[in-house]
Amino acid sequence: MFAPKDRQEVIVPVRLDESSPIAFQCSNELSCFTKCCREAHIILTPADIIKLKNKFNMDSSEFLYIYTGLGTIENTELPVPVLKMKEDADKSCPFLVKEGCAIYEDRPLTCRYYPLASGMFYNLDSSSKENFFAIIKEPHCMGHDLGEEVTVKEWMNTQGISVLEKINKGWTELILRRKSIGTFIPIPEKTKQMFFMGCYNIDAFRRFVFESKFLDIYEIKNSVLDNAKTDDYEMLKLSIDWLRFTFFGDPVITLKEQYVEGDMVEND
């Protein structure tokens, strides 16, 4: 968290909640326009991958290969796709053009949140979650305190954040549960691969469901399968349920009678 450009010292971020007021406006008339689109560390969520691969009419495997690198989610060891910057002098976003963001309507959740940082406290005793926020003040950004003052919640709604957070809800909860366990319990490489496919490579997971022995092992309702055949968001729900059952034993999927607990589906 940084002070404005005319101050060099680091400042302590102020914790906000959904009712806190903020004022921010990005405009191509500002000298800093698109500077935040350079050398950016943009983590992509499951909803981001689905929106972008569909925008470009690409298989999710192809999109991930071309546009992302591999990172990890802090304090979890869980893999996450990170948007790959161009190999130019500015290390700019691959979707940055002269006029600005070429994918603005489908931009990632990280970009939508800016200039907010979001976090969450998770109370293991009560299984309750508390969201909190802070303002990111990068030295180059001139958009702070401009425009109409709104609440954090109003900002999130106008930026389309709430809709994407709802889609990502199951993924977020998996991450929180992993964080609650702690990294002192290592994750096997196979488990990481399962998590990555189920959360991000939705077309590969669809092939896994319909072309492997998956349906010989798991009882899945026909209505769920019919929807998931063509709807990426419904397939994401199925994949999250499969991960919850496989990792934590949640009774959201049922094994067929001839299989016992502990059997593993191999990814063909």
The residues spanned by each domain of the chain are: 21-172, 188-255
Give the total residue count for the chain.
Answer: 268
Bridge partners of residue 43, in order along the sequence: 82
Give me the pLDDT at residue 118, please. 81
Quote the radius of gyration of the chain (alpha carbons, Å): 20
Encoding tokens for residue 146? 């401009």
**How would you label 67-93 residue by residue, b for 16+ Cβ within 10 Å and e otherwise?**
bbeebeeeebebbbbbbbbeeeeeebb
Contacts of 132 (CB under 8 A, 6+ apart): 15, 16, 17, 118, 119, 120, 121
In what helix (H) or strand (E) does residue 61 lie, and over which residues does it extend? helix 60-67
**Which stretches in the chain have pLDDT values below 70?**
1-14, 119-130, 260-268
Which pLDDT tens digit goes with each residue over 73-108?
988 899 999 999 999 888 999 999 989 999 999 999
Encoding tokens for residue 159? 């930026």
Encoding tokens for residue 218? 């798991």
